[in-house]
Chains A and B, each alone.
Chain A
Amino acid sequence: GENVEQHPSTLSVQEGDSAVIKCTYSDSASNYFPWYKQELGKGPQLIIDIRSNVGEKKDQRIAVTLNKTAKHFSLHITETQPEDSAVYFCAASNDYKLSFGAGTTVTVRA
């Protein structure tokens, strides 16, 4: 099955700086790569996703890049704000089941 690895496990950034989270996947058949933000006691919220026919996607301060050859994808958050503090999960899917990374706890220091 699919194996998704996520790094780093924790990330502390100064407000206004950028945050980058990286994930790798093992199954070359995976074609859908969503990113989720989870706040304490809540369900994961889809923040951005990318499909395998696209190399990069951006939505305001959030961007995701995908390198299918290397089987890795990354989340970039620019101009971080305190409300960006949360746990972020990457996932990979072949249009059916999602396989999740272990998560990254992001702390934005004011």
Chain B
Amino acid sequence: GAVVSQHPSRVICKSGTSVKIECRSLDFQATTMFWYRQFPKQSLMLMATSNEGSKATYEQGVEKDKFLINHASLTLSTLTVTSAHPEDSSFYICSARQGGGYFGPGTRLTVL
């Protein structure tokens, strides 16, 4: 199947700092990527849809100024968590579609 990578896999940061997470489609081009958030023992919650060359579309309740998304190329989307707080600690997962929906391995963010 298609391969999606994420970097970093884990990140620990201090409250108030910003963290950037990269999502890459390794063997296909993705005009659209999706960013999810997952709390322990819960399902995936869609945060936003990343569109190559245009603005991201955010789900209701997701602050676009806090979760900055940039889809600069057909193989790379980035999610920046700005001014991170402990409540932003979560598992962030990206996804890209090529026929089926393929997910990255996730990024565990811990904000101290």
Contacts and interface: CB of A to CB of B under 8 A. Distances in A.
Interface residues of B, number: 20
Given A34-B100, A49-B100, A42 B105 contact: yes
Contacts of B100: 34, 46, 49
Interface stretch (A14-22, A65-73, A77-85, A99-107): A99-107
Nearest to B102: A46
Contacts of A49: 100
A89 B46 contact: no
Interface in B5-50: 6, 32, 34, 42-44, 46, 49
Contacts of A101: 43
A91 B95 CA distance: 13
B101 A91 contact: yes
A28 interface: no
A102 B6 contact: no
B108 A43 contact: no
Given A97-B46, A98-B34, A101-B43, A43 B6 contact: yes
A32 to B, nearest CB: 8
11 contacts: A43-B4, A44-B93, A46-B1, A46-B102, A96-B32, A97-B46, A98-B101, A100-B44, A101-B43, A103-B42, A103-B43
Which 3 A-B pairs have CB atoms at the shortest separation, nearest pair first? A43-B103, A43-B106, A43-B105
Interface of A: 34, 36, 41-46, 49, 89, 91, 93, 96-98, 100-103
